[in-house]
Amino acid sequence: MGAAKGLTALVTGASRGIGAALAHRLAAEGAEVAVVARSLEAHAHLPGTLRKTVEGIRSLGGRAVAIQGDLSDTNARRRIADEALGKLGHVDILVNNAAAAYYMPFESYSEKRFRIALELNVHAPFGLAQQILPQMRRRRRGWILNISSATATPPPGPPFDEFATSGGALLYGLTKAALDRFSVGLAAEVYADGIAVNSLSPVAAVKTEGAEALKMIPPDRPDLIEPVEVMVEAAIALCTGDPRTLTGRVVCSRSLLEELGRTPRTLDGKADFREEGA
């Protein structure tokens, strides 16, 4: 434990799922964490709130503050960055996790959904990085992690599988492919400043409360399910690793852990995590 001791982190989309889990682990590793979501209170259909994330971290002795804001809005993004810098003093780690995912055929996408997906999945990480980077550069230290998706990889074919032919993740994958390219390009520009920028995807559907509520977890395909602890462990490695060597990567969680010889740990960082059936 203590890989992030003395560091500060800004994590978006942290009211549930990967964002909340990573915020807990960063705090367990010693970081002071600012967590961001659109609302402090409960979602109409999904479990988890920003308040609960903060309360959970504090109950275990960690340090966390909540910042409410809509990341799809340019003015709100500026305020969120300013508030994070004001509350934390500086930001060592920026995790762009918040995203909008729509799964439907191409002709069903509305202009509103297209705009929200681009704003939240591409413009928000781009804009937050622009606002957070100057103070990282002054201090010559920082880590930016963009949470991507396996859908950024074009579907193989022809023939194409049923997921792709029924609509699949055309728009979601488009935005995540843009995020991957942004990550590598920015990594090159800030390499000399001691700042790491990486893009991380799970190799399968991450088992979170939100994913289960939206029926994204296939009950009969355990091979398509990834425990959130696996994704979080890979994220911790990229948020605390040596920026001279671990940067400019577009990588999947399990392959990174195998490369680094790293074993997933529980979200409190106190024990090795054992997957079901392992």
pLDDT in tens, 21-43: 999 999 999 999 999 999 887 66
Inside any domain, residue 147: yes
Band (pLDDT 50/70/90 cuts) for residue 212 is very low
Summarize the confidence of residues 185-209 as an average pLDDT. Answer: 88
* pLDDT reported for residue 44: 55
* pLDDT reported for residue 211: 46
Summarize the confidence of residues 187-200 as an average pLDDT. Answer: 98
Band (pLDDT 50/70/90 cuts) for residue 204 is confident
* pLDDT reported for residue 124: 98
Band (pLDDT 50/70/90 cuts) for residue 215 is very low
Rg over CA atoms, the chain:
18
Inside any domain, residue 119: yes
Inside any domain, residue 238: yes
> Average pLDDT, whole number, for the chain?
92
* pLDDT reported for residue 45: 59
Inside any domain, residue 132: yes
- State which H helix or E strand residue 76 sits in: helix 74-88
Inside any domain, residue 127: yes
Q: pTM of the entire structure? A: 0.93
60: tokens are 């275990």
Inside any domain, residue 269: no
- State which H helix or E strand residue 112 sits in: helix 111-118
Pairwise CA distance, residues 91 & 8, whole Å: 5
Among the listed residues 102, 103, 109, 172, the single catalytic one is 172
Q: How many domains does the chain have?
A: 1
CATH number at residue 126: 3.40.50.720
* pLDDT reported for residue 154: 94
Question: pLDDT tens digits, residue range 127-178?
Answer: 999 999 999 999 999 999 999 999 999 999 999 999 899 888 999 999 999 9
Query: Which stretches does DSSP call E strand in 15-81?
Result: 32-37, 63-68
Inside any domain, residue 278: no
Q: 174 near 195, Cβ under 8 Å?
A: no
Inside any domain, residue 30: yes
The answer on pLDDT for 278 being more than 80 is no
Q: 120: domain range?
A: 8-260
* pLDDT reported for residue 275: 80
Pairwise CA distance, residues 106 & 91, whole Å: 39
Specify whether 109 is catalytic.
no
